[in-house]
Structure 1
């Protein structure tokens, strides 16, 4: 308050009371970063920034229905690469692994949706190495695309290296420059 008075009256500067104040480091956000709640010396990505990324990715995932998986990956890879390079100070391996996992989950969901009919799903699962009986049970289980894309039959059929071959950028591995 005394500092604010000094800045406003003596220095004749305007103080934005919404942005100015005293608070704990973990409650502050600066250029998309904040401090870890567990360890205040560790810089991490602010939750608001993550939310903004997911909003952008969800738009792409929703418009990607009916397009190729390659197109979707080609569209999201520059976004992921730029985002990860900007937030390279955040070195939490587990966090980035979870983000990668969630992105692959969305991509598997798009594949499940693209297969449309249970017969097509069964045929494709068998073609990708799933036991015929298991493929039959999985394809007609009546669950939604999101549920199925997270299950072992989809993880086993569509492995992570398929996404790597298509050029999906991994948030976990930082490029060294």
Structure 2
């Protein structure tokens, strides 16, 4: 949390066959970095070394190149850089600076975009699946994703993603009901007021628009919890 305004050295070895083999080959690199007191994180052949200035970063990188050469390993220059640590992706994460100038972990923006695209595929309204079937598909995907990114310190982002997903699921349910008369009957059964049920049913083809506001009261968070929809937040 108290990481200073540092820069990072990112390097990657070309030709390492597996994470296990990389760990064996790069043990000497780890020891060299530890001996010099550098802060670093490595998984297989991907590694970030955190230093306090660009000059220090260039110096560390030169030393790593020499060490790699002695080990008969090659630095992947296309993935190697001395750059600001903030916003730099590593294993799907990136760092961000919060209030109070504290450094925290977040899911990288491109990873979030990929996550949303996957949820769109799982919840597409043209799939012909019932809501329980869609929920079951979400339950096979979301817990693993959430487990991997459990270190992310972005509760607001996760809460907004949950809200967006529930919005899609409400729209999906409206499409399954299709006809205004069916919507009206089902909404009343869920506890909607007659006025809300009539208003939503009168615009039965506007699934996305209708899946907001009044429908939030009829299908609140507790409704989706009972269905078993996973949550990130």
Pairwise same-fold verdict (TM > 0.5)? yes
Q: Which runs of 5+ in 2 are unaligned?
A: 1-57
TM-score by length of 1: 0.83
Distance 2:125 2:194 in 1: 32
Equivalent in the alignment of 2:229: 168
By relative contact order (CA 8 Å, sep 6+), the higher-ranking structure is 1
Q: How does 1:1-177 map to 2 (within 5 A)?
A: 3=61, 7=65, 11=70, 13-38=73-98, 39=101, 41-62=103-124, 65-141=127-203, 144-149=206-211, 151-172=212-233
Aligned length: 171
Shift >6 Å, 4+ stretches: none
Distance 1:42 1:56 in 2: 26
Distance apart, 1:79 and its partner CA: 1.3
Q: Greater shift after overlay, 136-145 or 104-113?
A: 136-145
Q: Greater shift after overlay, 26-35 or 152-161?
A: 152-161
Task: Specify which structure has the higher proportion of helix.
Answer: 1
Q: 1:156 to 1:63 in 2, by over 3 A?
A: closer
Distance 1:69 1:43 in 2: 33
TM-score by length of 2: 0.65
Distance apart, 1:152 and its partner CA: 2.1
Q: Is the 8 A contact 1:25 1:40 kept in 2?
A: no
Q: 1:6 to 1:153 in 2, by over 3 A?
A: closer
Q: Is the 8 A contact 1:73 1:167 kept in 2?
A: yes
* RMSD, aligned CA: 2.5
Q: 1:63 to 1:124 in 2, by over 3 A?
A: closer
Task: Specify which structure has the higher proportion of strand.
Answer: 2
Question: What do the CA deviations read for 1:121-166 (whole angstroms, capped 9, x no partner)?
Answer: 12222222222233212222376211211x2221111122121112
Distance 2:222 2:64 in 1: 60
Q: Is the 8 A contact 2:94 2:107 kept in 1?
A: yes
